[in-house]
Amino acid sequence: MKLLPVDEARARMLEGVAVPPAEIARLEQCAGRALARAVIASRDQPPFASSAMDGWAVRRADAQNAAAELEIIGESAAGRGFEGAVGPGQAVRIFTGAALPTGADAVVIQENAERVGERVRLGPLAEKADHIRARGGDFHSGDRLIEPGQRLDAWRLSLAAAAGFDALTVARRPGVAVLCTGEELVRAPTVPGPFQIYESGSAPLCALIDAWGGVAQRLEPARDDEASVIAALSQIEADLIVTVGGASVGDYDIVKPALTRLGLALKVASVNVRPGKPTWFGVLGDGRKVLGLPGNPSSALVCAELFLRPLVLALQGANPIPAPLYARLAQTLPASGPREHLMRASLRSSADGSLIVRPFDDQDSGLVGVFARADALLRRPSNAAAAAAGDAVEVLKLDRL
C-alpha cells in the first residue's frame, strides 16, 4: 500500500464504521455521550407568560398614568400563581418566575413603585414596564431541541431536563482496548532496568478515549514477540483495539505480523504525516478494528487526535470531523517538507479577538514535556510554501483543562 495523505487515511479508517446499539441512560449518566434519538419538546417553555423581575403585575394602561395608586388584590409567586384576574386600577404582587395573572400585560419592577398599605403607588418610571417572559420564549411544543449524533454536555443536558426528560436514548459507549508493546517499557512503580523507560503512552490515550465518550481498557504491556501480542489481544472484547509501538519496519516491529495470524486485513499501511508515519489501520478476521499508533508517546498522541478521536466519535454516531479552525501565525515558518506536519503549539487570543498560534521551537517527537505545554496542533500541509507572521493557518485545538 502507498503512503496515504492524512485525510485519505482517515476516510479509509472511517469506512464501514457501525454505530453500536443504543441504550437508555439517566441524564446524570449522559455527559459526553452521543444522542441516538432526538429530543423533542412536548410543551412550551415557559408554559405560561411569567415575570422576569420582582415587582407588580398591572395593566399597561394603568402603568402609563404617572403616580397612579392601584389596589393590591393578591400575590403571584413561582409555583403558586394568582388565580384571579387583574382589572382596571388593580395590581398583583409578583416575583421572578411567577405566572403573569390574567388581565395583566406589564410588570412594574419594585424599584419603580412604593407600597402604601393595601395599595401600590407607581413611580415616574413605571411606564417602562415590561419584564415579561413570553410563553414559549425558550422553545415550543414540537421543537427538535437536540439532534441524534450530538454529544451531550452540561448545557444540552439542561435543555433536555427543561423539556421534561429524566433519561435519554444514547449510543452505547464503544469499548477501546489499548496495548503498548516493547521490551524497554515498564510501568511505575516498577523500577526500570538500565536500558528501560517508563511506559507513558497508554494512560493518556485511555484518558482521551474516556473523554471522547468511549470506555478505555488499559492492557498490560506486551513483549516484543508475536506470541505475547497474540495472547494479549486474541480474547479481548472491544469495538476498537489500539496498539502503541511495534508499528514500523524494524526487526522488533512485530504487531502487524502477529495480527496477520488473527486475520488482519490492512486498510491503511502508513500515513504521510510527521510525526506518525508508521500509523496503520486494519480489521481482524472477527471484525474487530485495529488502529496501530507509533510507540513514541508524543507521536501516538498526535495521531490519536487525527485518527483515534474520529474513530471513537464515529462509533457513537457523532460527527467525527470537527469544523476547521484557523489562527494567525505569530512568526514566520519555512517551507514544509513532503510530509504533512502537525506542530505542537500554543494558542492565545489577541487584543482584536483573533487567535494567534506559535509553534514550539523544538518539535522532537520524543519530548513529552513539550506536548504537556501545548494547547494546539498547527497543521502544515505537505510541500507548503513558507509562511509569514500573520498568515492564517489551520489548527487543531487540544482539550486542555
**Distance, CA of 244 to CA of 206 (rounded, Å):** 12
Q: Is the pLDDT of residue 252 over 60?
A: no
Q: Is the pLDDT of residue 364 over 60?
A: yes
Burial (Cβ within 10 Å: 0-12, 13-18, ≥19) of residue 117? exposed
Residues 164-216 have pLDDT tens digits of 999 999 999 999 999 999 878 888 888 888 988 888 889 999 999 999 999 99
Instruction: Look at residues 60, 58, 95, 61 and name the one whose alpha carbon lies nearest to residue 75.
Output: 95
Q: Where in the chain is the domain with CATH 3.40.980.10?
A: 6-20+173-314
Q: Domain spanning 6-20+173-314 has what CATH number?
A: 3.40.980.10
Q: Is the pLDDT of residue 141 over 80?
A: yes
Q: Where in the chain is the domain with CATH 2.40.340.10?
A: 325-397
**Distance, CA of 178 to CA of 300 (rounded, Å):** 12
What percent of the chain shows pLDDT beyond 90?
A: 79
Q: Where in the chain is the domain with CATH 2.170.190.11?
A: 50-133
SS3 content of the chain, % helix, strand, coil (to 5): 20, 30, 50
Q: Tell me, which fold does domain 26-45+139-171 have in CATH? A: Molybdopterin biosynthesis moea protein, domain 2 (3.90.105)
Q: Using DSSP, state whether 229 is helix, strand or coil.
A: helix
Q: Using DSSP, state whether 14 is helix, strand or coil.
A: helix
CA dihedral 81, 83, 85, 91 (to 10 degrees): -40
Instruction: Look at residues 245, 242, 234 and name the one whose alpha carbon lies nearest to residue 217.
Output: 242
Q: Tell me, which fold does domain 325-397 have in CATH? A: Beta-clip (2.40.340)
Residues 228-245 have pLDDT tens digits of 999 999 989 999 999 998
- Domain 50-133 sits in CATH 1.10.760.10: no
Q: How many CB atoms lie within 10 A of CB 79?
A: 7
